[in-house]
């Protein structure tokens, strides 16, 4: 599922650019969604931890930024800077990548093994809008398993969030 999308760092980014030796995490997020806002600190922290075990990550903004101005490219730059992104944040202007992946909401997580086989399509953790103390870290545990075995868990709980804002 290749792509070449413009990043907030001024570079074009592809899957090959972010692929980790043990796997890759593709996350669909946006700037305005309350679910993303509530979890972005945890997403950034997980990205750092996953990189240490060989999992690369990219965040893709799929929404119609013409209608949802908070999701504009300039606002993406500010959002990434504010939250200290250590991974590429790119815009899917045509929404083709989101459609190809079958993304449904923000945040939506797609965890692949080293062979680019989808192994995880679940939630970040047991928290929703409010962080839950000692919440089970579904994404972290799943991607650790992928890094170690190449396979994700049999049981996966779907992510919850805002629907993707498709163009007409």
Answer for the pair 88, 44: CB distance below 8 angstroms, yes or no: no
Confidence of residue 20 (pLDDT cuts 50, 70, 90): very high
User: For residue 22, what are the contacts with CB-CB under 8 A and spacing of at least 6?
Assistant: 53, 54, 55, 113, 114, 146, 147
Query: pLDDT for 119-139, tens place per residue?
Result: 999 999 998 788 788 888 999
Can you give the pTM of this predicted structure? 0.97
The answer to whether 127 and 46 are in contact (CB under 8 A) is no
- Sequence-ordered list of residues with C-beta below 8 angstroms from that of 45, at least 6 positions apart, any chain: none
Determine phi and psi for 104, rounding to 5 degrees. -115, -35
pLDDT digits (tens, 9 = 90+) for 56-115: 999 999 999 999 999 999 999 999 999 999 999 999 999 999 999 999 999 999 999 999
Nearest to 117 by CA among 11, 50, 19: 19
């Amino acid at each position: 599922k290749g792509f070449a999308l413009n990043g907030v760092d001024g570079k074009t980014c592809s899957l090959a650019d972010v692929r980790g030796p043990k796997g890759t995490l593709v996350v669909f997020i946006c700037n305005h969604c309350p679910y993303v806002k509530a979890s972005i600190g945890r997403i950034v922290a997980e990205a750092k931890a996953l990189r240490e075990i060989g999992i690369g990550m990219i965040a893709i903004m799929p929404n119609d930024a013409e209608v949802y101005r908070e999701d504009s490219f300039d606002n993406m730059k500010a959002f990434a800077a504010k939250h200290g992104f250590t991974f590429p944040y790119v815009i899917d202007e045509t929404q083709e990548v989101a459609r190809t992946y079958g993304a449904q909401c923000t945040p939506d997580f797609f965890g692949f093994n080293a062979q680019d086989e989808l192994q995880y399509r679940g939630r970040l953790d047991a928290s929703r809008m409010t962080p839950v103390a000692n919440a089970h870290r579904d994404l972290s545990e799943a991607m650790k398993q992928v890094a170690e075995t190449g396979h994700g868990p049999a049981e996966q709980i779907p992510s919850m969030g805002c629907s993707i804002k498709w163009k007409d």
